[in-house]
Amino acid sequence: MTDRKPILSLDWDGVIHSYSSGWQGATVIPDPPNPGAMRFIWDASEHYTIAISSSRSSSWMGRRAMKAYLAKH
């Protein structure tokens, strides 16, 4: 038996990224995270595998921009 974690799926814009500037392209993520979003993800990762979905995910550059944003914040 494995100890696999359940998956928690989160949306990017408006959930993690505050998205107050609106869409500016897949690689442009100018706004800060929503208050508490990063702490929530960190704490939830103890119990869940985190899956983040976004229209940005359709390009590797968009995925790279989201990874860099997460590392920064």
pTM for the structure as a whole: 0.86
Under a CB-based contact definition with an 8 Å cutoff, are residues 51 and 7 in contact? Answer: yes
pLDDT of residue 3: 78
pLDDT of residue 18: 97
Distance from C-alpha of 18 to C-alpha of 37, rounded to nearest angstrom = 9
Work out the pLDDT band at 2, boundaries 50, 70, 90.
Answer: low
Mean pLDDT of all residues in 8-19: 96
Three-class DSSP category at 73: coil
18-71 residue pLDDT tens: 999 999 999 999 999 999 999 999 999 999 999 999 999 999 999 999 999 999
Distance from C-alpha of 36 to C-alpha of 39, rounded to nearest angstrom = 5
**Phi, psi for 40 (deg, rounded to 5):** -60, -45
